Amino acid sequence: MTSKIINMAEQIKDEQDRLLESMFASGPIADDGFSAQIVHRVRRRMWLRRITLPAATVVGLLVSFKPLTQLVTAMAGLAQLLPLDKVGGSAEIVLQQLPMLVLGGMLLGACMLGLRIIED
């Protein structure tokens, strides 16, 4: 069963509609592989853009890993010098685990970035 709207649209075709149909019904124009070359270049540039930013991020993380760990341990050492109030020692436990918490956060961020890269 066909729709009445489609049948009516086919019956109301004017000269411009028929001209457009004849233009799109014609075969492709021979271009001696020019279109294939352009598509290849565009795809190559697209992959290059997709790979460049994650590669630069990984290199930056590798370069900055040691200084970041030194910074975290230095901040943990400075945090231990802070006077603790009479809370009961729970703040002391958090301060002792601060380097591990920060490194865990960095690992979580790296995993999220990796998932985002894989998603693209």
- Per-residue model confidence (pLDDT) at position 101: 83
| Per-residue 3-state assignment (H helix, E strand, C coil) for 1-15 | CCCHHHHHHHHCCCH
What is the pLDDT, as a whole number, of residue 108?
92
Looking at residue 87, its pLDDT comes to: 53
What pLDDT does residue 60 have?
92
Span 60-80, pLDDT tens digits:
989 998 998 888 888 777 767
At 90 the pLDDT is 64
Q: What is the pLDDT of residue 56?
A: 92
Angle of helix 98-119 versus helix 34-80 axis, rounded to 10? 170
For 106, counting Cβ atoms within 10 Å of its Cβ (0-12 exposed, 13-18 middle, 19+ buried), the class is middle
In 1-120, which ranges are continuous DSSP H helix? Answer: 4-11, 15-25, 34-80, 90-96, 98-119
More reliable by pLDDT, 5 or 20: 20
Rounded CA separation 15/17 (Å): 5
Q: At 18, list the tokens.
A: 């028929």
Which tens digit of pLDDT belongs to each residue from 74-104?
877 776 776 666 555 566 666 677 788 888 8
Place of tokens 């901040």: 75
pLDDT score at 83:
65
